[in-house]
Amino acid sequence: MLTLTGGWTFQNRGNVRLEMYQIGGASETGERETLICNDHSVPPDKEPHVVSSKPRERGLHKIVMSDSGGRTLVEWPEGVPMVFDAALPDSKLTLDQKNKNARGVYFYVPKGTETLGFCASCKTGGIYDSTGKVQWDFKAQPLIGFAELAVPLSERGKLWTFDGNGQFALMTVPPVVALSGDELILPKEVIPSNWLFRKKRL
């Protein structure tokens, strides 16, 4: 179940279009992704609307949403793991620090990662390691394009955060982000038994 508020910025771009796909599992067509919900009912009226669809099976699902740039606020039940695509060339991940609802995002830097490659268009905010130390300061080093930074040995296999004021994409680490550490979906074999996620969202 999702709550969508369309027309957050523009009210003349048409209804919000939402599709939900089941990833893997049984499929009548044999495809890896199966469309299970296709909803175009949410108008750009700046009012919350609940969209619900019962999955056919347990497991991973992908949500694709389009609002023609009208901007849509998306809310989901507390405790539901949700990650966002931060891969090139199609990453639409954008944070806006002028928006009081904007938060930073977590991402995982695997063990063995010597260099963090990324693409950004930011003038404020930064990239922080698991201790909160800034590894890239966008105010001191504004960026429009590609960049890389060395990953300290002690900070490999850890959760990092990004809270810049613009677009962001990951290149040399898994290109997925989440609003909190416990919402980030990771293979359990890479998570140490004593790993304590920060439960509070940024």
pLDDT in tens, 151-168: 999 999 999 999 888 889
Domain end point (choices 77, 107, 139): 77
* Pairing state between β 126-128 and 2-5: unpaired
Give the pTM.
0.77
Q: Are 122 and 70 within one domain? A: no
Query: 77: cis peptide before it, omega within 30°?
Result: no
Angle at 85 between CA 51 and CA 119, to 5 degrees: 145
Q: Are 24 and 101 members of one domain? A: no
Residue 53 pLDDT grade (very low, low, confident, very high; cuts 50, 70, 90): confident
Do residue 97 and residue 66 come from a single domain? no
Give the tokens for residue 195. 């790993």
Domain count for the chain: 2
Domain extent, residue 158, equals 81-202
Do both 149 and 67 map to the same domain?
A: no
CA dist 44 and 27 (Å) reads 33
Residue with the larger pLDDT of the pair 11 and 52: 11
Q: How many CA atoms lie within 13 A of 21 on its CB side?
A: 10
- Residues 16, 2 share a domain: yes
pLDDT bucket at 93, cuts 50 / 70 / 90: low
Higher pLDDT pick, 193 / 32: 32
Of 169 and 31, the one with more pLDDT: 169
* 84 pLDDT above the threshold of 90: no
